[in-house]
């Protein structure tokens, strides 16, 4: 009994010691500013800012390579929050929030080339070679990546119409 308790305690202490030292020695350095900025970004990894995802955008922001207005889906609120965290001032009087949008294909122009299907990161386009392509508006998150690849300029963004199903009470303006 005592031998069992003793041996398990020794094993526990030894393994705990190894894990503890490894965590110290092999710790991944995270810039606290970077993780704060990433928490402020929407996290949808849409790529509209030109970076691969929100983590890369946060890194660029922390290094000062990107403007605080880089995030189109975040709009004014995210730009203000980023500016506050970075301690910079930003003039947002000319900033226009575009609001939620979705992409749609002009069927008279679609030639069934499948280029937009390969580009879509959410598998939101139904279609195959030489068949009509249709964007599922439930899936589309308006990243706009399909627009430049379309050879016939058939894809356009449309604002999401406010219906009884999509309307929500506007958020109160927070005091700064």
Stretch that binds other proteins, among 10-18, 53-61, 84-92, 123-131 (CB under 8 A): 123-131
Q: Is 114 in the site for other proteins (CB under 8 A)?
A: yes
How near is the Cβ of 102 to other proteins at its closest, in Å? 11
Q: Which is nearer to other proteins, 99 or 112 (CB)?
A: 112
By CB under 8 A, what part of segment 129-148 binds other proteins?
129-132, 134-138
How near is the Cβ of 144 to other proteins at its closest, in Å? 16
Q: Which residues of 87-106 are buried (b: 16+ CB within 10 A; e: fewer)?
A: eeeeebeeeeeeeebbbebe
Stretch that binds other proteins, among 65-73, 112-120, 155-163, 164-172 (CB under 8 A): 112-120
Q: Is 151 in the site for other proteins (CB under 8 A)?
A: yes
Rounded to 5 degrees, φ, ψ at 66 are -125, 150
Assign residue 75 a region: left if phi > 0, alpha if psi is -120 to 50, beta otherwise? left
Q: Is 56 in the site for other proteins (CB under 8 A)?
A: no
How near is the Cβ of 128 to other proteins at its closest, in Å? 5
Indicate the helix (H) or strand (E) that contains 40. helix 32-40
β 125-126/101-105 pair status? unpaired
Q: Is 128 in the site for other proteins (CB under 8 A)?
A: yes
How near is the Cβ of 26 to other proteins at its closest, in Å? 36
User: What are the tokens at 172?
Assistant: 């109160």
Quote the CA–CA distance of 49 and 38 in Å, as a whole number: 13
Quote the CA–CA distance of 127 and 25 in Å, as a whole number: 51
Binding residues for other proteins (CB under 8 A): 104, 107-114, 117, 123, 125-132, 134-138, 151-153
């Amino acid at each position: 009994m005592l031998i069992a308790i003793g041996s398990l305690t020794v094993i526990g202490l030894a393994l705990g010691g190894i894990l503890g030292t490894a965590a110290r020695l092999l710790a991944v350095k995270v810039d606290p500013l970077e993780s704060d900025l990433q928490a402020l970004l929407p996290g949808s990894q849409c790529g509209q800012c030109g970076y691969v995802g929100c983590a890369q955008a946060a890194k660029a922001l922390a290094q000062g390579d990107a403007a605080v207005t880089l995030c189109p889906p975040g709009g004014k609120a995210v730009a203000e929050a980023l500016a506050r965290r970075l301690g910079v001032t930003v003039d947002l009087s000319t900033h226009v929030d575009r609001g939620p949008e979705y992409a749609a294909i002009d069927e008279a122009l679609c030639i069934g080339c499948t280029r937009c299907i390969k580009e879509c990161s959410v598998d939101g386009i139904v279609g195959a070679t030489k068949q009509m392509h249709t964007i599922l508006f439930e899936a589309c998150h308006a990243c706009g990546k399909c627009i430049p690849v379309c050879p016939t300029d058939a894809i356009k963004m449309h604002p999401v119409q406010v219906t009884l199903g999509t309307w929500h009470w506007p958020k109160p303006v927070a005091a700064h």
